């Protein structure tokens, strides 16, 4: 730990250490505020999903495979389109 402190003093100088400490403290504070906001948004989304999930049970979702299927284009159909 002491070695780390000596290394910081040698790299940045004694005058810049308070500025570095202040700016890193501000950065940590901003990071924590952002993290708290994201956590609140996630909680609100979870609460919204749980309250609305009971209401959506009556709606039926369409089943897969019931819609008309479109055949994918093959190379031969692509070639005939470009030759015209």
Quick: pLDDT tens for 29-54. 999 999 999 999 999 999 888 876 65
Domain residue extents for the chain: 15-44
In terms of pTM, does the model score above 0.85?
no
% pLDDT > 70, the chain: 61
Q: 5-18: buried (b, 16+ CB within 10 Å) or exposed (e) per residue?
A: eeeeeeeeeeeeee
| Residue 71 reports pLDDT greater than 70 | no
Q: Which of 28, 29, 30, 4 is nearest to 17 (CA)?
A: 4
Residues with Cβ < 8 Å from 12, sequence gap 6 or more? 20
């Amino acid at each position: 730990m002491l070695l780390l402190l000596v290394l910081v003093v040698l790299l940045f100088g004694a005058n810049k250490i308070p500025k570095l400490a202040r700016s890193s403290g501000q950065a940590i504070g901003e990071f924590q505020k952002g993290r708290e906001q994201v956590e609140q948004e996630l909680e609100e989304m979870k609460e919204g999903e749980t309250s609305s999930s009971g209401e959506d049970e009556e709606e039926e979702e369409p089943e897969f495979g019931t819609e008309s299927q479109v055949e994918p284009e093959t190379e031969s159909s692509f070639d005939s389109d470009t030759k015209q």
